[in-house]
Amino acid sequence: MIAPDTANDLRALLAFYAEAGVDEALEDEPANRFAEASSRTPPRAAAPMPAQRPEREVAQRQAPSATTIRPPATATVPDEAQAALARQLAAGASTLEELRAAMAGFDGCNLKSTAKNLVFADGNPQASLMLVGEAPGRDEDLEGLPFVGRSGRLLDRMLAAIGYDRNSVYIANVIPWRPPGNRAPTPHETEICRPFIERQIELVNPKVLVNLGGPSAKTLLDTSEGILRLRGNWRVHTTRSGVAIPAMPTLHPAYLLRTPAHKRLAWRDFVDVKVKLRELG
């Protein structure tokens, strides 16, 4: 039987783990994979947790000091060199399969080291309609496919409402690796991943692009405006080779799950998309 204080400590610790993206138990002891990769810094054994600790101590553990956690010796720090390498790899891929292979072999984004899978795309690469979200969540990371969780199910319904499904559209994300704990990707991470999604759009060459949510719109439409202002207005995504693709920024399905009253706005945007696709033949 767990004593009340210990139960509180454990609850706080689990909440901290969940927040940090540690949402599965794999082994009894934690392993520092960054340190293992460097092989210069052997992994440190975790200190066993005493049975009972006052709440103040738990709070201190939640905000570890620089003396307890050091940056791993060879962890990949996002920087311009990695972004340049990503640009080179992306430009060198002449098919989607080559692009997928280049991304799978790329170690320049720190998010890859905590993700389970590369989430490349789902749907039909010949589709006229391409949708781009922000980054995979837990379900997407586990399956290696974009938009398969709750937001994905809503997205499927939104597509069905205008007569489309996953066989008639192509779906990808700006960031192909799940950020731990579903935190927002940093600007550096976004810059490193940007060449890959830009090349993916260029290779699919859709007639219409839909940006699901603010981060996708900001990254791909060269704007800093908020999504509530952007949505519903046609923009243009220009590929590196100069092809101009009409783009509709709209509300992210995860936002719509939290704010169902705004579904009608997304509905309007999707109807506009259908009309545009019909116009473009």
Nearest residue (CB) to ligand URA, 135 versus 247: 135
* In the complex, minimum distance from the CB of residue 140 to ligand URA, in angstroms, rounded to a whole number: 4
Nearest residue (CB) to ligand URA, 35 versus 210: 210
Residue nearest ligand URA, Cβ-based? 133
Nearest residue (CB) to ligand URA, 175 versus 273: 175
CA angle 138, 200, 185 (to 5 degrees): 40
Give the closest residue to 113 by CA, choosing from 141, 143, 88: 141
* In the complex, minimum distance from the CB of residue 119 to ligand URA, in angstroms, rounded to a whole number: 6
Nearest residue (CB) to ligand URA, 136 versus 206: 136
* In the complex, minimum distance from the CB of residue 265 to ligand URA, in angstroms, rounded to a whole number: 18
* In the complex, minimum distance from the CB of residue 27 to ligand URA, in angstroms, rounded to a whole number: 28
* In the complex, minimum distance from the CB of residue 145 to ligand URA, in angstroms, rounded to a whole number: 8
Residues that bind ligand URA (CB under 6 A): 133-137, 140, 146-147, 151, 173, 254
Nearest residue (CB) to ligand URA, 9 versus 140: 140
